[in-house]
Amino acid sequence: MAPIVQCMGLTKTYGGKLALNRICLNLERGRIIGLLGPNGSGKTTLIKLMNGLLKPTAGEILIGGQRPGIDTKLHISYLPERTYLQPNMKVMEIVNYFQDFYPDFQADRAYDMLARLQIQPYERLKNLSKGTKEKVQLILVMSRNADLYVLDEPIAGVDPAARDFILRTIVANYNRNATVLLSTHLIADVEGILDEVVFIRQGNIVLQAGAEQIRRNEGKSVDRFFREVFAC
């Protein structure tokens, strides 16, 4: 079976500024992968290209062997680093919205997670705190049976207790044959759940390796190794 993500000479420029530089990358199925890099390294650009929110300047990106389009969107569950829901919608209306558009969405699973967090379905999104809104978005994204979960900075800007919930939710709910791509620069918090890491710097992939392999070969944690690689 083809890798879930294939990048071949993938390049993206904004105006004259290079954001991704001829990236070649394969991501296999059934892995939790950390896309790690400092701010402005190109993580979000790569994620947007996977989701068809940006068009490549050169090169190609394939999701399950297909260019980003309607078919690939059926198989990717994407959590952006911002609130993308209409603030005046009720939580239950948003659940219905996802159910209407994504055939793999499990409403029961969503309501179960909402109940455990005591988030009321009739509450409007604009009345929820920032952290709760992020939890609602994560619940929606993880309630799909997708082949690829793309989570852009899912733990940035939330308190440590919320981080624990988010990571537990990811591990407990993702489809075991699927890949989870998790972008962050808060490596210490996510290291425990990662199978593999991809280091990205200034639009270039500088490392792709197993998390355990790094710990064994380098004799240090991924977080420590990251700090050395990206030392200013």
Nearest-angstrom CA–CA distance, 168 and 170: 5
Q: Which residue lies nearer to another protein by CB, 98 or 226? A: 98
Q: Which stretch binds another protein (CB under 8 A): 26-34, 46-54, 161-169, 217-225?
A: 46-54
- Can residue 51 be called a binding residue for another protein (CB under 8 A)? yes
Q: Which is nearer to another protein, 4 or 211 (CB)?
A: 4
Q: Which of residues 61-120 bind another protein (CB under 8 A)?
A: 70-71, 73-74, 76, 78, 80, 82-86, 88-89, 93, 97, 100-102
- Minimum CB separation of residue 98 from another protein in Å reads 9
- Establish if 122 lies at the interface with another protein (CB under 8 A): no
For residues 110 and 194, which CB has a smaller minimum distance to another protein in the complex?
A: 110
Tokens of 45: 């650009």
**Minimal distance in Å, beta carbon 65 to another protein?**
17
* Whether the Cβ atoms of residue 29 and residue 195 lie closer than 8 Å to each other: no
3-class secondary-structure state, position 24:
strand
Q: How many residues bind another protein (CB under 8 A)?
A: 27
* Nearest distance from C-beta of residue 80 to another protein, angstroms: 5
Where b means 16+ CB within 10 Å and e means fewer, 186-220 reads: ebebbbeebebbbbbbebebeeeebbeebeeeeee
CB of 59 to another protein, least distance (A): 16
Q: Quick one: CA torsion of 45, 46, 52, 54, rounded to 10 degrees?
A: 30
| Residue 21 binds to another protein (criterion: CB under 8 A) | no
H/E stretch holding 197: strand 196-201
Cα torsion angle, 116, 169, 77, 64, sign:
negative
The backbone torsions φ and ψ at residue 202, rounded to the nearest 5 degrees and listed phi first, read 45, 45
37 contacts 184 by C-beta, under 8 angstroms = no
Determine, following the binding rule CB under 8 A, whether residue 156 of this chain makes contact with another protein: no
As a whole number of Å, the end-to-end CA separation of the chain is: 40
CB of 216 to another protein, least distance (A): 37
Residues engaged in binding another protein (CB under 8 A): 14-15, 48, 51-55, 70-71, 73-74, 76, 78, 80, 82-86, 88-89, 93, 97, 100-102
